[in-house]
């Protein structure tokens, strides 16, 4: 990642972390923080935030989808499968390549 992109990512993470401190009960903020971590390939931190998001709003399909991707990247395939199925049941668009990749690992 070029230095300027890295700087922007760090500023984004900092801003979203501040928002999460101000409104810890806002699931969307935790989802966005999870997405920022995931984009930065920090999957453990992403999963922590996605879990907070679904604890606040269990019907947040995109957070379940994020959990599926994060767990897949960490090779926790059973958890990835569980969350991609939940995301699908909640009606979010599922990445067919991710679904197939998870199925191949089970």
Is the pLDDT confidence value at 1 over 60?
no
pLDDT digits (tens, 9 = 90+) for 60-103: 999 999 999 999 999 999 999 999 999 999 999 999 999 999 99
Average pLDDT, the chain: 93
* pLDDT for the residue 13: 80
Could you tell me which residue, 19 or 86, shows the higher pLDDT? 86
Average confidence (pLDDT) over 53-61 = 98
- Where does 3-105 sit in CATH, by number? 1.25.40.10
**pLDDT interval class at 56 (50, 70, 90):** very high
Could you give the C-alpha distances from 45 to 56, 87, 88, 96, 102, in angstroms and in order? Answer: 17, 20, 23, 24, 21
In which residue are the tokens 């920090």 written? 42
Q: d(Cα 69, Cα 86) in Å, to the nearest integer?
A: 13
Those residues with Cβ within 8 angstroms of residue 37's Cβ, 6 or more apart along the chain or in another chain: 13, 43, 45, 46, 49
* Burial status of residue 73 (CB atoms within 10 A of its CB: 0-12, 13-18, 19 or more): middle
| Per-residue confidence (pLDDT) for residue 94, from 0 to 100 | 93
Residue 76: CB atoms within 10 Å: 17
């Amino acid at each position: 990642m070029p230095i300027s992109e890295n700087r922007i990512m760090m500023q984004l993470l900092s801003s979203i972390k501040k928002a999460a401190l101000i409104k810890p009960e806002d699931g969307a903020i935790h989802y966005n923080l999870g997405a920022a971590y995931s984009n930065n390939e920090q999957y453990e931190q992403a999963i922590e935030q996605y879990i907070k998001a679904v604890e606040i709003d269990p019907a947040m399909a995109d957070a379940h989808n994020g959990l599926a991707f994060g767990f897949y990247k960490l090779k926790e395939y059973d958890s990835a499968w569980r969350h991609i199925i939940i995301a699908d049941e909640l009606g979010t668009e599922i990445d067919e390549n991710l679904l197939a990749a998870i199925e191949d690992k089970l």
